[in-house]
Structure 1
Amino acid sequence: MAMREVVCAGAFVRIYDPGADEPEAWYINDHTIVRDTDGRWHLFGITHQEPPDPFNEIEFAHATADELLGPWTKQPPALRVDPDYGETHIWAPFVVTADGRYYMFYAGGGEDRTAAAINLATSTDMFHWERRCSGPLFRDGYDARDPMVARVGDQWVMYYCATSDPAGGNHVVAYRTSTDLEHWGDRHIAYTDPTVGTEAGNTESPFVVQVDGWWYLFIGPRPDYVGTDVFRSDNPFCFRIGNKVGHIASHAAELVHDDIRWWITAAGWGQGGVYLAPLTFPHHRDSAAAKAVPR
């Protein structure tokens, strides 16, 4: 039996339109919002002119703002595809800060979609990025993509979407662990969906966060393009379809915390930019005592 839905979002407002000063409409798809050490916000994301052309998405949008709700200022692209590095496109950047550096994880594709590359670029200022000299962090399939990195205990965990077998199968949220953000262990599975296929599936854009001892997994599109489901667990490495606790009208949802509250984003093809809404978690844990994993 599914849990009652306890995670919900308020009204979405548009905070950034990449086509505002362009002669044609542009979109932002999978993206990330992160704050630098000076307190300035940065938005990075897949971008392209409308209509959608995912295998020709070759640069990452970059915008900055002093306040999360804007106004946002368009910056030159943060990164462009590098065919000499083996990239056929660049998708779904995610940025974390550690030891005075910024780490951008992203999907670089490749000719073999059963062994797609997850790549890393680093920066000291979030404006100039350099790829890891030794090549991709690892390869996986089918179309392994949408990396998201969280701190769990004394290690880093990268969640990403793939399929149960690199050639296809159940859509899954896979994960790997690291102590240094550059060397990643073997693949494990955090969530398996009953749906099967190869490319676009319903475990995209995974985002995992811990709130009040519970771990929450956000994935989509479910069941339609503009839809994200939320699952809850006492274990950051095991989520089950019966533990759904929310549904939010958002595509490519990302979570942002501004030191006061949680926010959730929305974007995607034909959506006209990036949107933001306040996100509400339950104030108290229910009677099913969850065992929190140390942060």
Structure 2
Amino acid sequence: MKPVPGTELSGNPILPGWYADPEAVIFGRQYWVYPTYSAPYNQQVFMDAFSSPDLVHWTKHPRILDTTSVKWAQRAMWAPAVVQKDKRYFLFFGANDVHEGEVGGIGVAVADRPEGPFRDYLGKPLIGNIHNGAQPIDQFVFQDPGGQYYIIYGGWSHCNIARLKPDFTGFLPFPDGTIYKEITPQNYVEGPIMFRRQGKYYFMWSEGGWTGPDYSVAYAVADSPLGPWQRVGKVLQQDAAVATGAGHHSVVQVPGTDEWYIIYHRRPLSETDQNHRVTCIERLYFDSQGRIQPVKLTQRGVAARKLK
């Protein structure tokens, strides 16, 4: 679908500067993007956010969270996930690039407004240990139609799902007594997200190495958040004429419509620094059988789209 002549376009990238791992959400009549500040780990000590009424004009909200408000976090703050609940905003984040025996992992911050300032909610990581081989990073929070919130996360080619308590202070066991269930699909590396469309659950993730040109996104479809997940195929990958390293994304649906957008990061062709990543947006389409269509990387981005 081509934009109508004269329609204002977002262009790509949509944000100025180096930003990766974008979490895109809608709060009220505003689109929000919460990305990783893409820099060496010791410089990744804060997070910015961006808001827009129309996907074209973006306002920066600097330092909505930083390590001064999270005492256990020293570096590598990344891949935020944000949900609104009970008039508060909860930001789930990774910190410290934690390994076994180290302090760090997935934390939670809370604020009264989507632009923060966010403060540490628990005073410690929500997930600070390695379970099922999954590094506690790249968290995504998903609410199913019954109201249950799930956290889906994991690096090192393993993905777990767990049921969050209603107040986000911990976890509810599954009926079999386990807390963390592994749901790793074929070729999974990191960056999981989940959404529901027409009664089906879609699980998407990133494949390949984030520093290389072949970083990409694949997906699976199931009838439950627990799967079983059978990989369908890739839907987002590099285009040698546009950009490389396209991955670690999120999706948003315009409320009340079947209109979807994918927000992701990629590396401009002129850049070789692994941290020189930019946040971009494209339309996301489904065919009549519900399959996600391959995404075409563009320089034009998407047409302006206000929320009602």
Q: Does 1:159 align with 2:152?
A: yes
Q: 2: CA distance between counterparts of 1:86 and 1:284?
A: 45
1:76-115 correspondence to structure 2 within 5 Å: 76-82=62-68, 84-109=71-96, 112-113=99-100
State the one-letter code of the partner of 2:88.
Answer: R
Gaps of 5+ in 1: 1-9, 20-26, 164-170, 195-201, 287-295
Q: Deviation at 1:251?
A: 1.1
Match of 2:34 in 1: 44
Deviations 1:180-204 (A, max 9, x none): 122224111112446xxxxxxx421
Match of 2:278 in 1: 273
Instruction: Give the TM-score, by structure 2 length.
Output: 0.72
Q: 2: CA distance between counterparts of 1:91 and 1:177?
A: 22
Q: Deviation at 1:89?
A: 2.3
Percent sequence identity is 16
State the 4+ residue runs in structure 1 displaced beyond 6 angstroms: none
Q: 2: CA distance between counterparts of 1:76 and 1:267?
A: 19
Contact kept, 8 Å, 1:44 with 1:78, in 2: the verdict is no
Match of 2:261 in 1: 263
1:18 aligned to which of 8, 16, 19: 16
Q: Deviation at 1:257?
A: 1.3
Q: 2: CA distance between counterparts of 1:90 and 1:113?
A: 18
How much is the aligned-residue C-alpha RMSD, in angstroms?
2.8
Q: Structure 1's 285 and 262: CA in aligned 2 closer, same or farther, altered over 3 A?
A: closer
Deviations 1:108-128 (A, max 9, x none): 236645664210011111221
Q: Structure 1's 236 and 114: CA in aligned 2 closer, same or farther, altered over 3 A?
A: farther
- Secondary structure of 1:253 counterpart: strand
Contact kept, 8 Å, 1:204 with 1:220, in 2: the verdict is yes
State the one-letter code of the partner of 2:206.
Answer: G
1:1-295 correspondence to structure 2 within 5 Å: 13-19=11-17, 27-37=18-28, 39-48=29-38, 52-67=39-54, 69-82=55-68, 84-109=71-96, 112-113=99-100, 116-127=104-115, 128-141=117-130, 143-152=135-144, 153-163=146-156, 171-180=157-166, 181-185=168-172, 186-193=179-186, 202-222=188-208, 225-241=214-230, 243-249=231-237, 250-259=246-255, 260=257, 261-268=259-266, 270=268, 273-284=278-289
Contact kept, 8 Å, 1:231 with 1:239, in 2: the verdict is no
Match of 1:166 in 2: none
Q: Structure 1's 71 and 90: CA in aligned 2 closer, same or farther, altered over 3 A?
A: same
Deviations 1:34-60 (A, max 9, x none): 2223x2222211114xxx524531111
Instruction: Give the TM-score, by structure 1 length.
Output: 0.75
Gaps of 5+ in 2: 4-9, 173-178, 238-245, 269-275, 292-308
Deviations 1:141-187 (A, max 9, x none): 35310110111233111000145xxxxxxx22111102312222411
More strand by share: 1
